[in-house]
Structure 1
Amino acid sequence: MALTQMQLIQSLGDAMAWFERELNWGVPPTELRHLCGRIGELYAALITNGQMATEVNQQGYDVVSGDGERISVKTTAMMGAGGHIAFNPNSMEFVDRVIVLRVNTDEMQIETLLNAPVAEAIDLMSPDRGGKRSLPLSRLARTERPRSELKTVSEVSFETYTVRERENGSIEVEKAGTLQVPTKPALRELARKLNISLLNGSGNPLNTRQLGSQVIKSLSE
């Protein structure tokens, strides 16, 4: 059964929360590949107004966009330019587009590393070796969608502050109509006004997404 856009958003939020909880328990991101992949597929379906493929790894693609494009989605939690993404060259003929995403474990948000037609993606890959083609992360430029294109999941206001959570998990803060960059100092300032702790239950500083969620929850209540 096809998921609605709202169900995709809810499922993505649940998957991100589960991923974050596992990280807080000390589980390395490399041990969460399946969950990381699920997050990427949900996000790709969301941003393309599409749907998940009906079968796992169905002929090499994971998502069918609203325009009917068959999309191969690869998701990593590796930070920096090291590492690579592996592709099966035998299934690329069934793919129209390649999307490579990264779950930023520092800020707990999703970054788009590549969103291109399959021919452009193949040009970036290394030659076939052992039945695999690899795409080095060093060749990928981060190409985030403009803020205006990202849907707002929740939004709250307090005094001159406006706090938004976007569909990719990122947090934005505006103060008197001006976007605050970086976000975290403004969130800390707002948290102090609301008597919200800057630390989690283990005594570690909250990251931007965690602190933003706490501020949004407090103001929503």
Structure 2
Amino acid sequence: MSLSQTQIIRSLGNALTWLESELQWGVEPGELNHLIGRIGELYVAMRTCGQMALAVNQKGYDVVSATGEQISVKTVTTSKSVIFNKNTFDQVHRVVVLRINYGDDLSEGDNISVDDVSIEEIIDEEASKFLSLCKEQGGKYKYSLPGKRKVVPLEQQKPVKQVVYGPYEVVKYESGSIQVKENGVPVRVVKPALRDIAKKIGMSIVRENGRSLPTRQLGSKIIDTINELNES
């Protein structure tokens, strides 16, 4: 059964929220391959106003666009390459390779972000042109992904604003990253601490659309709110 665009968008949002929760709980991305793959397929279906491939384990492609293009979608987190089956590649009209970034790996630019997870488009190309970028290995096509941008450690970044509230210190760095220290010790998982602070100062943690504020926006808003309270 086909899904409406509204259902696809809602499903994508739910899947991204689920992924963020799993990552915050400490689940390794490698254990979430099915969820990550589904996120990529939903994203491409949304971007092309298309549909997921109807057959279970459809050979060669994952999404059919509104114009009938059969699209093979590959979605990775840390993998440096993706593999395509040579025997079924003739079914593919278009290839989209995506990378899921999260936490301090979030990329800047035109990424589609939900909370602390973003979808980065590595390549979107016609199948015939895409093949020129691949190497053939044992009946398969291998595409090597470009490297991620270098992440500068927080200790090498300049703080742009900060505030102290009780045992907590909240710091925003030039990259936009947020750090929380409790009694001088960096908190490993930042968002729960930020939510606790927001609750104590009576600050809303949701946006107008009902979704929770992402960590960077939440931390920045907390700093501004506490500074305003201190000045009043």
The two structures have a TM-score, normalised by structure 1, of 0.64
What is the percentage of aligned positions where both structures have the same residue? 44
For 2:14, the equivalent position in structure 1 comes to: 14
For 2:135, the equivalent position in structure 1 comes to: 126
Q: Distance in 2 between matches of 1:218 and 1:95?
A: 37
Shift of 1:220: 8.5
For 2:99, the equivalent position in structure 1 comes to: 102
Q: Distance in 1 between matches of 2:34 and 2:69?
A: 23
Please tell me whether the aligned partners of residues 71 and 98 of structure 1 are also in contact (alpha carbons under 8 angstroms): yes
Shift of 1:130: 2.5
Shift of 1:56: 3.2
Largest Rg, 1 or 2: 2
Q: Distance in 2 between matches of 1:220 and 1:121?
A: 37
For 1:163, the equivalent position in structure 2 comes to: none
- Out of 195, 200, 211, which is 2:191 matched to? 200
RMSD: 3.2
Please tell me whether the aligned partners of residues 72 and 99 of structure 1 are also in contact (alpha carbons under 8 angstroms): yes
For 1:112, the equivalent position in structure 2 comes to: 121
Q: Distance in 1 between matches of 2:77 and 2:118?
A: 10
After superposition, the Cα gap between the structure-2 partners of 1:139 and 1:91, relative to the gap in structure 1 and judged at 3 Å, is farther
Shift of 1:219: 8.2
Residues paired across the two proteins, number: 159
SS in 2 for 1:214: coil
Q: Write the deviation string for residues 22-48 of structure 1: whole angstroms up to 9, x where unpaired.
A: 111111111111000000000000000
For 2:74, the equivalent position in structure 1 comes to: 74
Shift of 1:121: 1.1
After superposition, the Cα gap between the structure-2 partners of 1:11 and 1:73, relative to the gap in structure 1 and judged at 3 Å, is same
Q: Distance in 2 between matches of 1:9 and 1:214?
A: 22
Shift of 1:111: 1.0
Read off the aligned partner of 1:63 and give its amino acid letter. Answer: V
Shift of 1:214: 3.4
Read off the aligned partner of 2:70 and give its amino acid letter. Answer: R
Q: Distance in 2 between matches of 1:218 and 1:52?
A: 26
Read off the aligned partner of 2:27 and give its amino acid letter. Answer: V
Q: Write the deviation string for residues 155-204 of structure 1: whole angstroms up to 9, x where unpaired.
A: xxxxxxxxxxxxxxxxxxxxxxxxxxx8948x99xxxxxxxxx9422x37
Shift of 1:215: 4.5
- 1:24-173 aligned at under 5 Å gives the runs 24-78=24-78, 83-106=80-103, 107-127=116-136, 129-138=137-146
Q: Which runs of 5+ in 2 are unaligned?
A: 104-115, 149-173, 180-188, 196-203, 213-232
For 2:155, the equivalent position in structure 1 comes to: none
Q: Distance in 2 between matches of 1:23 and 1:219?
A: 21
Shift of 1:59: 2.4
Read off the aligned partner of 2:72 and give its amino acid letter. Answer: S
Q: Distance in 1 between matches of 2:128 and 2:83?
A: 16
Q: Distance in 2 between matches of 1:117 and 1:220?
A: 35
For 1:195, the equivalent position in structure 2 comes to: none
SS in 1 for 2:146: helix
Please tell me whether the aligned partners of residues 9 and 46 of structure 2 are also in contact (alpha carbons under 8 angstroms): yes
Q: Distance in 1 between matches of 2:65 and 2:143?
A: 23
Read off the aligned partner of 2:49 and give its amino acid letter. Answer: N
